Structure 1
Amino acid sequence: MKIKNLLNLLLCLILLNCSTDDNNSEPTENIFNGDIVVSSQAEVDLLETYTKITGDLKIETLLSSTDIINLSVFSDLTEIGGDFILENNSGVLSTESFSKVQLVGGSLELGNNGIKNLDGFLNLKSIGSNLIIRNNALENIDGLTNLISIGGDFNIKQSQISSIEVFNNVTSTLKGWIWLEMEKLESLNGLPKIGLTTESIVISQTKIQSLEPFSDLQNINGILEINNNDNLVSLNGFQNITSIQGKLSIRGNDTLQNLDKINNLSILNGELDIFGNINLEDINGLSKLNSIGGYGYVSYNDSLTNLDGLSNVVSAGGRFEIEGNAILKDFCGLNSLFNNGGTIFDIRINAYNPTQQNFTDGNCSI
């Protein structure tokens, strides 16, 4: 009898140990081949638990918001082969359901969600294409601290985020669009490395004072827009840029006094737009330009006194408007452009407004 009881006890222990091992084991690999697109909680609830998705994962709606609040079905997911788009989900307050995701092969796009932080992405190491974060309820983005690679665009539009130092561990070089629209951003410290060439740059509505991280950049395949950065005192960081294939826009930077640090720019194939920089005194940093590929706008720069920085420009691809510059009296920097012909000028509401006859007569300033 004792032997029988002993055998029963041993059998129970073996069964208990097996049960414990099963509970601690990794989930069985379950791969979904293709894309998963859901826009309601009902659709989410019909899904199985997957460890990998070979295509895109899109949790989004074109309407104002989904009714989704629970994404725990994705808690075993480790890899997404395509894009991961989480957009227009006001009821999604956390990213914890994605805490095992290590790789997004395509783009990671987070837009207009109720999420407060990105702590669910602490295991994320690599994004194959674009990182786009915009208009979420985010209070911080610290959950991206272990990210080491971004393959495409770097786009953050978040009004409450004051730092991007979380990206200090990224070792890849940014080559796509760089778009930062962050009202509380005080520094570009943490911005991943910029190579010799990138697609486009937009820095808008920040509190940054310097553009130093761009100091290796030489060529921009698209546009460069530096707009409404009230604390920006210099374009230092742009001193090695030689070509911009699209538009150059410098607007509403209240403390910017000159363009000296973009002084190697020699090719501008798009528009020139210099507007509303109230303390801008001169544009001499543009002195290496000999042509402007598109329209020209120099308007409402209250401290601008001359246009000498355009003295080597001999052609423009469209109309050239110079308007509302309160103390601008010296237009002699436009002589080469005027003498070469082919450009229509619209000059008005400045301290002096020379006509075509004034230029012909040599009266380009007063």
Structure 2
Amino acid sequence: MKIKNTILILAYILVFSSCASDDDNTPTQIDREPETVIEQTAIINFTNEESNEIDFGDVVVDIITTQVFNIENTGNSDLNITNIVIPDNYTIDISSTTITPDTNKDFTITFSPTEILDYSNVIQIESNATGGNDTITITGFGVSPIYDGSIVLNTQEEVDHFGKLGYTSITGGLNIGQVTSIASTIVDLEPLNKILEVGFLEVFSTTSLENLNGLEKLNVINSIQMVSNSALKNIDALKSVTKLEGYINFLSNNSLTKIDGLENLIEVKENVRFNKNALLENIDGLSSLKSVGTDFDLLGSPLIENLNGLSSLENVGVELHVSGSLLLENLNGLSNLKSASLLRFSDNVSLYDYCGIKDLLTNDGANLYHNGQRYNRFNPTKSEVVNSTCSELVPLGVYDGNLLMDSNSDIEKFVSKNFHTIRGSFGVNGQAITNLDFLENLETVTSDLNIRNTDLTNLDGLDKLIYVNQLFIQENAMLADYCGLNSFIENGTINNTGDYRYIITDNLYNPTLEELQNGQCTD
């Protein structure tokens, strides 16, 4: 019995264990997030400084020029560029490379046209790119080395760019700066050294340009203008210029000290003008100049001491005018001049010697401009130079020659000189004259004193007058007071004894000489 019970217990345990084992083997379900698959991308992003294409513009044949563009990989995997296909006449520094995500690489492309053609095309990029543009538009034109027309360059950047284009000739003008523009800060013309010929050269309103270096090979066909270049010191680079069909004009270049760059210039068919170049020391740079077609003007250059730079000059078509050269004493530099229609010299306060033009005047090669010699130390007529004296050191305080006052500027100049004697005739004319205070130092007029058609009401200011050759007072509609002449009438001299020594007519009051001598100086 005991054995039977033991067997039953074992059987029960086996059954129970079997059931428990079945429960443990039941599978348990587990929920999992689905896996995200990341797409691999490599994206071409092309950039250029100026646009979304590469534009070389016009490039002279056989000139090499370069540009830089950039490719960025905005994808998340490596961009493998296996080849960059470049059109003819272009080259590139990198043809295959790898660009990692979110990085970029610069490429340098070179354009070298060999013919006058349109080289515009596309660049093809071969790569594993999954996006972006695999072509780049490229534009370039091969052009003639002759630039047709005129070019205006206002900035150093424009000078640099135009120089890189490689033009060797300009049919029109090479304009550095403009008269009407804001002052140009161009400092260097060296980039223009390939240019061999231009129609005309103009340099306007520069503030930092000290010289024309870079133009040493330049021949100018027509004309040269240099205007208001405040830093320009010399023009030495212009030595290739030998003849001009047009003119030369140098105006208000306040740092210019010499013009030696014109030393090979032989002929100018129109005008030569140097005006208001305050620091110009000499004109020796014109030493080869033989002929000027119309006018030669040297004005407002106070430091000029001589005209030796004109020693080769033989012909001036119309007028030669020298004014405002305060240190100029003689005209010896004009001794080889054979012809000029007119000669005029004014405001050269030290000029007393005209012997350098005596032969010219004697042979009727030129005439002295009538009354054109003003405010020089000596102001002779043609007849005086030819027949009497060509040189005279006129004393200070004495004005030599005839003089006319008809404007406020004339009055201001006269007052600044402190003249007490007029060795010639003296005229006061025009309604701008309302008083004679500016004559308070005047003592002597060796020829005629003529007061005509003014708005004077009196003659106050002539108190120191002691000598005239003849006295004419006419057509002064408001003049009724002659008391300013009392001292002269009492103590002075009218030298001429003829019928026309004293003429007073057509004024508001017209006293005779006897009436003035009797004290009847007002109406």
- Structure 2 residue identity aligned to 1:328: L
The CA distance in 2 between the partners of 1:121 and 1:137, in whole Å, is 17
TM-score, structure 2 as length reference: 0.48
1:92-138, CA deviations, whole angstroms, 9 ceiling, x for partnerless residues? 33312111112331233254153433221122212332223342533
Is the contact made by 1:303 and 1:326 (CA closer than 8 Å) also made in structure 2?
Answer: no
User: Deviation per CA, 1:220-258, whole angstroms, max 9, x where unpaired?
Assistant: 49xx5622x44323455677464648x84734x5xx2x4
The equivalent of 1:106 in structure 2 is 223
Q: Do residues 43 (structure 1) and 163 (structure 2) align?
A: no
Q: Residues 86-101 of structure 1: matches in 2 within 5 Å? A: 86-101=203-218
TM-score (norm 1): 0.65
Aligned to 2:260: 142
Deviation digits for residues 264-302 of structure 1 (CA, Å, limit 9, x no counterpart) = 79xxxxxxxxxxx9825354x44xx9xx89779574354
1:203 has 2:318 as partner: no
Distance 1:54 1:317, change over 3 A: farther
Question: 2:278 aligns to what?
Answer: 159
Question: Aligned with 2:256: secondary structure?
Answer: coil
Which of residues 157, 160, 174 in structure 2 aligns to 1:57?
174
Tell me, which stretches of 5 or more residues in structure 1 are unaligned? Answer: 1-27, 266-276
What displacement does 1:303 show? Answer: 4.3
Alignment equivalent of 1:352, drawn from 465, 472, 480: 465
SS of match in other structure, 1:100: coil
1:302 and 1:325 in contact (8 A); partners too:
no
- Residue 44 of structure 1, CA deviation: 2.8
* Structure 2 residues without counterparts, runs of 5 or longer: 1-142, 386-393, 474-481, 486-501, 505-511, 518-523
**Which amino acid is the alignment partner of residue 198 of structure 1?**
V
Is residue 2:148 matched to residue 1:33?
yes
Checking the alignment, whether the CA contact within 8 Å between 1:238 and 1:261 is kept in structure 2 is no
Secondary structure of 2:214's partner?
helix
Higher relative contact order (CA 8 A, sep 6+): 1
Cα deviation for residue 208 of structure 1 reads 1.0
Whether 1:305 aligns to 2:421 is yes
Greater share of strand: 2
C-alpha displacement at 1:306, in angstroms? 4.8
Cα pair distance change 1:293/1:174, threshold 3 Å: farther
CA–CA separation in structure 2 for the residues paired with 1:243 and 1:278:
23
The residue identity in structure 1 corresponding to 2:239 is: L
Deviation per residue, 1:128-174 (Å, 9 max, x gap): 32223342533433222222222322315433332212211112236
SS at match of 1:97: coil
Q: How many residues align?
A: 306
Shift of 1:333: 3.4
Give the distance between the partners of 2:406 and 2:301, measured in 1 at CA. 29
- 1:323 to 1:174, Cα distance in 2 relative to 1, 3 A: farther
Q: State the Cα distance separating 1:74 from its structure 2 match.
A: 2.0
Paired amino acid for 2:282? S
Change (3 A) 1:67 1:160: closer
Change (3 A) 1:122 1:238: closer
Identical-pair percentage: 19
Query: What is the distance in 2 between the residues matched to 1:34 and 1:108?
Result: 18
Residue of structure 2 equivalent to 1:187: 306
1:89: Cα distance to partner? 2.1
Distance 1:113 1:334, change over 3 A: closer
* Bigger Cα Rg: 2
Match of 1:324 in 2: 438
